[in-house]
Amino acid sequence: MYVAVKGGEAAILATHELVAEARRGDPAVPEISVAQIREQQALACARVMNEGSLYDRDLAALALKQSQGDVIEAAFLMRAYRTTLPRFGSSEPLDTARMAIRRRVSATYKDLPGGQVLGATYDYTHRLFDFGLMEEEQSAVRNRASKTSGQPDSPMPPADGLDPHMPRVPDILGAEGLMEPEEPPQGDPRPFDLTREPVSFPADRDVRLQAMARGDEGFLLGLGYSVQRGYGNSHPFVGEVRVGEVAVEYVPEELGFAVDLGDITITECQMVNQFQGSKDVPPQFTRGYGLVFGHAERKAMSISLVDRALKARDFGEAAEYPAQQDEFVLYHSDNVEAAGFVEHLKLPHYVDFQGELELIRRIRKEREERLAGEQDGDGSQTMPEAAE
């Protein structure tokens, strides 16, 4: 805080009022509600839930409203609130094979078993402004409100008429022995929790995936892009991207069996990568994996690309590039930590700066004295030359 500034506390309190005024904007414009953000800015809410490491659509919408749409600030709010919540235990692993699908695409099989489900996506839209969205359709809003009045809040329903058990592409390849086997570590230990335990390097895969799931989407997107441009030994194909709802189950100690806590929306991506094999391993496909909250395909794909890059050492590949180095990825992908370290530079550093200022002045003075002495010592003319 700016406590070192005279009158700093009063100034800080005044900024709180200015923030509230700036957040509200023009009072003549109707105030946006949390429900509107939750329903109409669902992709932004998904990003806040991921980077805030907390699945709650209402809180994500509130965080976006409170932060004026600043996603990193909203994620910070979510993480701060998360620390106040009691922890009862860990849920059972999600069974994504039983996901209630509303979007599922693959770049590897045209006739994918179970079918391709395009769902709601911007992939096939024209990037042209729809100025009709600027017109307020109050009658349509009222009609929708009357139809949904009294209904419980829920995300978009899954597509109808689909096979409830769609095989995943890596499982199809695995049945032919063409995909790297993926088995739990020996003893199937409890997953690492980076919110409670310090991270050490080299980090195991569960740590890496957890860190990337709450990492900055833009940073991970850049790293994923880098491995496709030659900064990593990656030749990816989208095995499958699926979006839908899965059940979260928890086993209370007093019951001893799983209890369904409800459904959450997730996005899962399995990236298929070529591996030429080694002396001990035949040529096969390897996988990169990404799982995130909400509808967030770009982030899930980015994580799956970086996940495969971080497995370089597992396949005897040289880890030469940033996306292949777990310490670089994990330390720099956390946008809340990164923002704090960058933005703290705005806080008072008067003593530090004055120290450096005096140091620079002293060095310059010593340099000038040394140059003057050198000129006198070698007989250089120190008086100005006469004009011609």
The residues that bridge with 286 in the sheet, in sequence order, are: 273
Please tell me the predicted confidence (pLDDT) of residue 348.
Answer: 87
Please tell me the predicted confidence (pLDDT) of residue 139.
Answer: 44
Read off the tokens for 121.
Answer: 């996506």
Query: Phi-psi bin for 213: left (phi > 0), alpha (psi -120 to 50), beta?
Result: alpha
pTM: 0.85
Please tell me the predicted confidence (pLDDT) of residue 246.
Answer: 94
Please tell me the predicted confidence (pLDDT) of residue 378.
Answer: 67
pLDDT along the chain (388 residues), means of 10: 59 88 90 95 96 96 96 96 91 90 91 88 90 69 51 55 75 85 80 89 93 96 92 83 94 90 96 78 87 96 95 85 94 94 90 94 93 76 50
Lookup result for tokens 């209370």: 252
| Nearest residue to 294 via CA among 34, 37, 40, 44 | 44
Please tell me the predicted confidence (pLDDT) of residue 3.
Answer: 47
| Rounded CA Rg of the chain | 28
